[in-house]
A and B are shown apart, each in its own frame.
Chain A
Amino acid sequence: MMAPFYKYGLFGDEVSLILAALIGVGFGFFLEQAGFGSSKKLVAQFYLTDMAVFKVMFSAIVTAMLGLFYLSWAGLLDFSLVYVSPTFFWPDLVGGLVLGAGFIVGGFCPGTSVVGTATGRLDGLAFMGGVFGGIFVYGELYPWLADFANSTAMGRVTIDSWLGVSKGLVVFAVVVLAVLGFWGASAVERMMARREVEAGT
Protein backbone atom coordinates (compact mmCIF):
# COMPACT_ATOMS: atom_id res chain seq x y z
CA MET A 1 0.00 0.00 0.00
CA MET A 2 1.52 3.29 -1.13
CA ALA A 3 0.84 6.86 -0.08
CA PRO A 4 -0.65 9.30 -1.06
CA PHE A 5 -3.65 6.96 -0.74
CA TYR A 6 -6.08 9.18 -2.69
CA LYS A 7 -3.71 9.33 -5.68
CA TYR A 8 -3.51 5.53 -5.65
CA GLY A 9 -7.31 5.31 -5.73
CA LEU A 10 -7.73 3.85 -2.27
CA PHE A 11 -10.83 6.03 -1.83
CA GLY A 12 -12.86 8.40 -3.97
CA ASP A 13 -13.80 12.07 -4.11
CA GLU A 14 -16.60 11.93 -1.54
CA VAL A 15 -14.34 10.31 1.06
CA SER A 16 -11.61 12.84 0.31
CA LEU A 17 -14.02 15.64 1.28
CA ILE A 18 -14.87 13.97 4.59
CA LEU A 19 -11.15 13.58 5.26
CA ALA A 20 -10.64 17.25 4.33
CA ALA A 21 -13.12 18.29 7.00
CA LEU A 22 -11.51 16.01 9.61
CA ILE A 23 -8.02 17.23 8.73
CA GLY A 24 -9.39 20.78 9.07
CA VAL A 25 -10.70 19.99 12.56
CA GLY A 26 -7.20 18.86 13.58
CA PHE A 27 -5.64 21.92 11.95
CA GLY A 28 -8.02 24.32 13.71
CA PHE A 29 -7.62 22.50 17.02
CA PHE A 30 -3.83 22.80 17.10
CA LEU A 31 -3.87 26.40 15.82
CA GLU A 32 -6.15 27.32 18.72
CA GLN A 33 -4.11 25.27 21.21
CA ALA A 34 -1.03 27.20 20.07
CA GLY A 35 -2.89 30.39 21.08
CA PHE A 36 -3.30 31.54 17.47
CA GLY A 37 -6.94 32.52 17.85
CA SER A 38 -5.47 35.66 19.40
CA SER A 39 -4.17 38.47 17.19
CA LYS A 40 -2.09 39.90 20.06
CA LYS A 41 -0.33 36.56 20.49
CA LEU A 42 0.36 36.35 16.73
CA VAL A 43 1.83 39.86 16.36
CA ALA A 44 3.94 39.47 19.51
CA GLN A 45 6.28 37.61 17.13
CA PHE A 46 7.10 40.95 15.48
CA TYR A 47 7.66 42.74 18.80
CA LEU A 48 9.98 39.91 19.91
CA THR A 49 8.11 39.36 23.18
CA ASP A 50 6.61 35.95 22.26
CA MET A 51 8.08 34.00 19.36
CA ALA A 52 5.40 31.30 19.34
CA VAL A 53 4.64 31.89 15.64
CA PHE A 54 8.18 30.94 14.69
CA LYS A 55 8.37 28.03 17.15
CA VAL A 56 5.03 26.51 16.13
CA MET A 57 5.52 27.05 12.42
CA PHE A 58 8.99 25.56 12.27
CA SER A 59 8.31 22.64 14.58
CA ALA A 60 5.32 21.84 12.31
CA ILE A 61 7.43 22.16 9.15
CA VAL A 62 10.23 20.01 10.59
CA THR A 63 7.77 17.34 11.77
CA ALA A 64 5.98 17.05 8.41
CA MET A 65 9.24 17.35 6.44
CA LEU A 66 10.91 14.50 8.39
CA GLY A 67 7.77 12.39 8.07
CA LEU A 68 7.65 12.86 4.29
CA PHE A 69 11.40 12.29 3.98
CA TYR A 70 11.47 9.03 5.91
CA LEU A 71 8.24 7.68 4.39
CA SER A 72 9.56 8.20 0.88
CA TRP A 73 12.99 6.85 1.89
CA ALA A 74 11.28 3.70 3.19
CA GLY A 75 9.41 3.40 -0.10
CA LEU A 76 6.00 3.94 1.49
CA LEU A 77 5.25 7.26 -0.20
CA ASP A 78 5.73 8.42 -3.78
CA PHE A 79 6.93 12.01 -3.39
CA SER A 80 6.43 12.75 -7.10
CA LEU A 81 2.66 12.43 -6.49
CA VAL A 82 2.74 14.91 -3.59
CA TYR A 83 1.58 18.36 -4.65
CA VAL A 84 4.33 20.97 -4.71
CA SER A 85 3.01 24.39 -5.66
CA PRO A 86 4.86 25.66 -8.76
CA THR A 87 7.28 28.48 -8.05
CA PHE A 88 6.75 31.90 -9.64
CA PHE A 89 9.75 33.70 -8.18
CA TRP A 90 8.83 37.41 -8.25
CA PRO A 91 5.09 36.95 -7.61
CA ASP A 92 5.95 34.70 -4.61
CA LEU A 93 8.38 37.30 -3.29
CA VAL A 94 6.12 40.35 -3.75
CA GLY A 95 3.05 38.41 -2.57
CA GLY A 96 4.96 37.49 0.59
CA LEU A 97 5.76 41.14 1.27
CA VAL A 98 2.14 42.27 0.78
CA LEU A 99 0.91 39.39 2.92
CA GLY A 100 3.44 40.18 5.66
CA ALA A 101 2.26 43.79 5.70
CA GLY A 102 -1.31 42.50 6.02
CA PHE A 103 -0.21 40.30 8.93
CA ILE A 104 1.16 43.16 11.05
CA VAL A 105 -1.70 45.55 10.13
CA GLY A 106 -4.50 43.00 10.54
CA GLY A 107 -3.05 40.67 13.18
CA PHE A 108 -4.12 37.39 11.56
CA CYS A 109 -3.62 35.22 8.52
CA PRO A 110 -6.60 33.61 6.75
CA GLY A 111 -6.50 30.32 8.71
CA THR A 112 -5.99 31.93 12.12
CA SER A 113 -8.74 34.51 11.45
CA VAL A 114 -11.18 31.60 11.08
CA VAL A 115 -10.01 30.25 14.46
CA GLY A 116 -10.20 33.75 16.01
CA THR A 117 -13.74 34.19 14.71
CA ALA A 118 -14.78 30.73 15.95
CA THR A 119 -13.58 31.67 19.45
CA GLY A 120 -15.40 35.03 19.52
CA ARG A 121 -12.74 37.49 18.32
CA LEU A 122 -14.59 40.22 16.43
CA ASP A 123 -11.31 41.50 14.98
CA GLY A 124 -10.96 38.03 13.42
CA LEU A 125 -14.38 38.37 11.81
CA ALA A 126 -13.50 41.83 10.47
CA PHE A 127 -10.23 40.41 9.12
CA MET A 128 -12.12 37.65 7.29
CA GLY A 129 -14.27 40.31 5.68
CA GLY A 130 -11.11 42.11 4.59
CA VAL A 131 -9.69 38.91 3.04
CA PHE A 132 -12.84 38.52 0.91
CA GLY A 133 -12.46 42.17 -0.17
CA GLY A 134 -8.77 41.80 -1.02
CA ILE A 135 -9.41 38.69 -3.12
CA PHE A 136 -12.25 40.48 -4.94
CA VAL A 137 -9.95 43.44 -5.74
CA TYR A 138 -7.30 40.98 -6.98
CA GLY A 139 -9.90 39.21 -9.12
CA GLU A 140 -11.14 42.45 -10.65
CA LEU A 141 -7.59 43.61 -11.38
CA TYR A 142 -6.52 40.17 -12.62
CA PRO A 143 -6.65 41.05 -16.34
CA TRP A 144 -3.94 43.66 -15.64
CA LEU A 145 -2.05 41.60 -13.05
CA ALA A 146 -1.94 38.32 -15.00
CA ASP A 147 1.31 39.11 -16.85
CA PHE A 148 3.18 39.73 -13.59
CA ALA A 149 1.42 36.93 -11.70
CA ASN A 150 2.53 34.38 -14.31
CA SER A 151 6.05 35.72 -14.75
CA THR A 152 9.30 33.99 -13.66
CA ALA A 153 7.56 30.59 -13.76
CA MET A 154 9.98 27.91 -12.57
CA GLY A 155 7.59 24.97 -12.28
CA ARG A 156 7.87 22.35 -9.54
CA VAL A 157 11.16 23.22 -7.89
CA THR A 158 12.36 22.25 -4.43
CA ILE A 159 15.38 23.72 -2.63
CA ASP A 160 17.42 20.53 -3.11
CA SER A 161 16.71 20.30 -6.85
CA TRP A 162 17.44 24.02 -7.24
CA LEU A 163 20.79 23.75 -5.43
CA GLY A 164 21.57 20.42 -7.09
CA VAL A 165 22.22 18.69 -3.77
CA SER A 166 20.61 15.69 -2.08
CA LYS A 167 17.30 16.10 -0.26
CA GLY A 168 18.84 14.59 2.87
CA LEU A 169 21.37 17.41 3.07
CA VAL A 170 18.69 20.12 2.87
CA VAL A 171 16.49 18.26 5.39
CA PHE A 172 19.45 18.08 7.78
CA ALA A 173 20.25 21.79 7.27
CA VAL A 174 16.63 22.79 7.94
CA VAL A 175 16.61 20.77 11.19
CA VAL A 176 19.87 22.40 12.33
CA LEU A 177 18.61 25.89 11.42
CA ALA A 178 15.31 25.27 13.20
CA VAL A 179 17.04 24.12 16.40
CA LEU A 180 19.37 27.14 16.31
CA GLY A 181 16.34 29.34 15.62
CA PHE A 182 14.41 27.88 18.59
CA TRP A 183 17.38 28.52 20.85
CA GLY A 184 17.78 32.08 19.50
CA ALA A 185 14.06 32.82 19.78
CA SER A 186 13.99 31.81 23.45
CA ALA A 187 17.10 33.89 24.13
CA VAL A 188 15.43 36.95 22.55
CA GLU A 189 12.25 36.37 24.58
CA ARG A 190 14.26 36.28 27.82
CA MET A 191 16.10 39.46 26.83
CA MET A 192 12.83 41.28 26.05
CA ALA A 193 11.28 40.12 29.34
CA ARG A 194 14.28 41.48 31.28
CA ARG A 195 14.07 44.78 29.43
CA GLU A 196 10.36 45.17 30.23
CA VAL A 197 11.03 44.51 33.93
CA GLU A 198 13.80 47.11 33.94
CA ALA A 199 11.55 49.65 32.17
CA GLY A 200 8.96 49.00 34.86
CA THR A 201 6.18 48.19 32.40
Chain B
Amino acid sequence: MNPYLAGVGLGLVLLLAYVLVGRGLGASGAFSAVVAVIVNAVAPAHAQSNEFYRGYLENGFGSPFKSFLVFEVLGVAVGGFLSGALSGRLKRTVERGPRMSAPGRIVLAILGGALMGFGAKLARGCTSGQGLSGGAVLDLGSWTFMIMVFAAGYAGAYFLRREWR
Protein backbone atom coordinates (compact mmCIF):
# COMPACT_ATOMS: atom_id res chain seq x y z
CA MET B 1 0.00 0.00 0.00
CA ASN B 2 1.10 3.55 -0.68
CA PRO B 3 2.89 4.74 2.50
CA TYR B 4 0.78 7.89 2.83
CA LEU B 5 -2.43 5.90 2.45
CA ALA B 6 -1.27 3.40 5.09
CA GLY B 7 -0.26 6.33 7.30
CA VAL B 8 -3.65 8.01 7.00
CA GLY B 9 -5.27 4.63 7.78
CA LEU B 10 -3.12 4.26 10.90
CA GLY B 11 -3.88 7.86 11.86
CA LEU B 12 -7.64 7.25 11.60
CA VAL B 13 -7.33 4.13 13.79
CA LEU B 14 -5.38 6.19 16.31
CA LEU B 15 -7.96 8.99 16.18
CA LEU B 16 -10.72 6.43 16.71
CA ALA B 17 -8.92 5.14 19.82
CA TYR B 18 -8.75 8.68 21.22
CA VAL B 19 -12.40 9.43 20.41
CA LEU B 20 -13.76 6.13 21.76
CA VAL B 21 -11.65 5.52 24.85
CA GLY B 22 -9.56 8.66 25.29
CA ARG B 23 -6.19 6.98 24.90
CA GLY B 24 -3.86 6.14 22.04
CA LEU B 25 -2.26 2.96 20.82
CA GLY B 26 0.49 1.01 22.53
CA ALA B 27 2.41 -2.23 22.38
CA SER B 28 5.18 -2.51 24.96
CA GLY B 29 2.72 -2.27 27.88
CA ALA B 30 1.20 -5.61 26.88
CA PHE B 31 4.66 -7.22 26.94
CA SER B 32 5.21 -5.75 30.43
CA ALA B 33 1.95 -7.24 31.71
CA VAL B 34 3.09 -10.70 30.58
CA VAL B 35 6.50 -10.28 32.26
CA ALA B 36 4.91 -9.04 35.50
CA VAL B 37 2.45 -11.97 35.61
CA ILE B 38 5.23 -14.53 35.05
CA VAL B 39 7.49 -13.00 37.71
CA ASN B 40 4.53 -12.90 40.10
CA ALA B 41 3.76 -16.58 39.41
CA VAL B 42 7.36 -17.68 40.03
CA ALA B 43 8.22 -15.35 42.93
CA PRO B 44 5.12 -13.56 44.28
CA ALA B 45 6.82 -11.85 47.22
CA HIS B 46 9.59 -10.58 44.95
CA ALA B 47 7.11 -9.19 42.39
CA GLN B 48 4.90 -7.57 45.05
CA SER B 49 7.89 -5.77 46.59
CA ASN B 50 8.78 -4.21 43.23
CA GLU B 51 6.91 -1.07 42.30
CA PHE B 52 7.45 -1.65 38.55
CA TYR B 53 5.85 -5.12 38.50
CA ARG B 54 3.14 -4.10 40.94
CA GLY B 55 2.03 -1.34 38.56
CA TYR B 56 1.20 -3.91 35.89
CA LEU B 57 -0.26 -6.47 38.33
CA GLU B 58 -2.73 -3.90 39.62
CA ASN B 59 -3.64 -2.89 36.06
CA GLY B 60 -6.65 -4.21 34.17
CA PHE B 61 -10.19 -4.97 35.24
CA GLY B 62 -9.66 -7.68 37.84
CA SER B 63 -6.77 -9.33 36.04
CA PRO B 64 -3.60 -7.86 34.47
CA PHE B 65 -4.54 -9.52 31.18
CA LYS B 66 -7.98 -7.90 31.14
CA SER B 67 -6.37 -4.62 30.15
CA PHE B 68 -6.72 -2.36 27.15
CA LEU B 69 -3.20 -2.90 25.80
CA VAL B 70 -3.25 -6.72 26.07
CA PHE B 71 -6.51 -6.91 24.10
CA GLU B 72 -5.22 -4.35 21.63
CA VAL B 73 -1.98 -6.27 20.94
CA LEU B 74 -3.92 -9.52 20.43
CA GLY B 75 -5.88 -7.56 17.83
CA VAL B 76 -2.62 -6.37 16.22
CA ALA B 77 -1.57 -9.99 15.65
CA VAL B 78 -4.96 -10.80 14.07
CA GLY B 79 -4.97 -7.65 11.91
CA GLY B 80 -1.38 -8.22 10.77
CA PHE B 81 -2.15 -11.82 9.86
CA LEU B 82 -5.32 -10.89 7.94
CA SER B 83 -3.52 -8.18 5.99
CA GLY B 84 -0.58 -10.48 5.21
CA ALA B 85 -2.94 -13.26 4.09
CA LEU B 86 -4.99 -10.89 1.87
CA SER B 87 -1.86 -9.46 0.24
CA GLY B 88 -0.04 -12.80 -0.14
CA ARG B 89 2.79 -11.81 2.20
CA LEU B 90 2.65 -14.72 4.67
CA LYS B 91 6.11 -16.23 4.50
CA ARG B 92 8.12 -18.24 6.99
CA THR B 93 11.56 -16.66 6.77
CA VAL B 94 14.37 -14.90 8.60
CA GLU B 95 14.85 -11.49 6.98
CA ARG B 96 18.46 -10.31 6.75
CA GLY B 97 21.05 -8.80 4.44
CA PRO B 98 22.87 -10.96 1.86
CA ARG B 99 26.03 -11.19 4.00
CA MET B 100 24.27 -12.22 7.22
CA SER B 101 23.65 -15.77 8.46
CA ALA B 102 20.20 -16.73 9.77
CA PRO B 103 21.46 -17.75 13.26
CA GLY B 104 23.46 -14.52 13.48
CA ARG B 105 20.37 -12.52 12.57
CA ILE B 106 18.31 -14.32 15.23
CA VAL B 107 20.91 -13.49 17.90
CA LEU B 108 20.87 -9.82 16.86
CA ALA B 109 17.06 -9.79 16.81
CA ILE B 110 17.01 -11.03 20.42
CA LEU B 111 19.67 -8.49 21.45
CA GLY B 112 17.87 -5.64 19.67
CA GLY B 113 14.57 -6.69 21.22
CA ALA B 114 16.15 -6.61 24.67
CA LEU B 115 17.50 -3.09 24.11
CA MET B 116 14.09 -2.09 22.80
CA GLY B 117 12.27 -3.53 25.83
CA PHE B 118 14.64 -1.82 28.25
CA GLY B 119 14.49 1.53 26.42
CA ALA B 120 10.71 1.39 26.10
CA LYS B 121 10.31 0.97 29.87
CA LEU B 122 12.70 3.81 30.63
CA ALA B 123 10.81 6.08 28.24
CA ARG B 124 7.40 4.72 29.44
CA GLY B 125 6.41 3.72 25.93
CA CYS B 126 7.62 2.51 22.55
CA THR B 127 7.22 3.74 18.99
CA SER B 128 3.45 3.15 19.26
CA GLY B 129 2.67 4.64 22.66
CA GLN B 130 5.25 7.41 22.83
CA GLY B 131 5.95 7.89 19.12
CA LEU B 132 2.60 7.73 17.34
CA SER B 133 0.14 8.37 20.18
CA GLY B 134 2.26 10.96 21.99
CA GLY B 135 3.25 12.56 18.69
CA ALA B 136 -0.37 13.19 17.74
CA VAL B 137 -1.20 14.93 21.05
CA LEU B 138 2.02 17.02 20.78
CA ASP B 139 3.44 15.50 23.98
CA LEU B 140 6.79 17.19 24.67
CA GLY B 141 8.40 14.02 26.04
CA SER B 142 7.21 12.03 23.02
CA TRP B 143 8.76 14.39 20.51
CA THR B 144 12.03 14.40 22.46
CA PHE B 145 11.87 10.60 22.49
CA MET B 146 11.15 10.35 18.75
CA ILE B 147 14.05 12.59 17.73
CA MET B 148 16.37 10.40 19.84
CA VAL B 149 15.04 7.17 18.28
CA PHE B 150 15.84 8.42 14.79
CA ALA B 151 19.22 9.82 15.92
CA ALA B 152 20.29 6.50 17.45
CA GLY B 153 19.05 4.55 14.43
CA TYR B 154 21.09 6.64 12.02
CA ALA B 155 24.14 6.61 14.33
CA GLY B 156 24.05 2.81 14.52
CA ALA B 157 23.33 2.12 10.84
CA TYR B 158 26.98 2.23 9.74
CA PHE B 159 28.08 -0.31 12.37
CA LEU B 160 25.31 -2.75 11.50
CA ARG B 161 25.60 -2.59 7.70
CA ARG B 162 26.74 -6.24 7.56
CA GLU B 163 23.43 -7.28 9.12
CA TRP B 164 21.25 -5.46 6.59
CA ARG B 165 23.05 -4.47 3.38
Q: Which A residues lie at the B interface, using CB under 8 A? A: 3-7, 13-14, 16-35, 37-40, 43, 45-47, 52, 55-65, 67-68, 71, 77, 79, 81-89, 91-124, 126-139, 142-143, 145-146, 149, 154, 157-160, 162, 167, 170-171, 174, 182
Contact = CB atoms under 8 A, between A and B. Distances in A.
Contact of B160 (A34, A105, A167): A105
Interface of B: 1, 3-4, 6-25, 27-28, 31-32, 34-36, 39, 50-53, 61, 66-69, 71-84, 87, 89-97, 105-106, 108-157, 160-161, 163-165
Contacts of A111: 25, 27, 73, 76, 126-128
A77 B15 CA distance: 11
Contact of B28 (A91, A118, A131): A131
Contacts of A170: 138
Contacts of A86: 124, 141
A67 B4 CA distance: 16
Contacts of A126: 106, 109-110, 113
Contacts of A174: 138
Contacts of A30: 1, 6, 9-10, 13, 79, 83
A79 B113 CA distance: 34
A107 B95 CA distance: 9
A56 to B, nearest CB: 4
Given A32-B80, A33-B83, A120 B92 contact: yes
Contact of A99 (B67, B84, B120, B163): B120
Contact of A160 (B20, B91, B138): B138
B7 A17 contact: no
Nearest to B62: A13
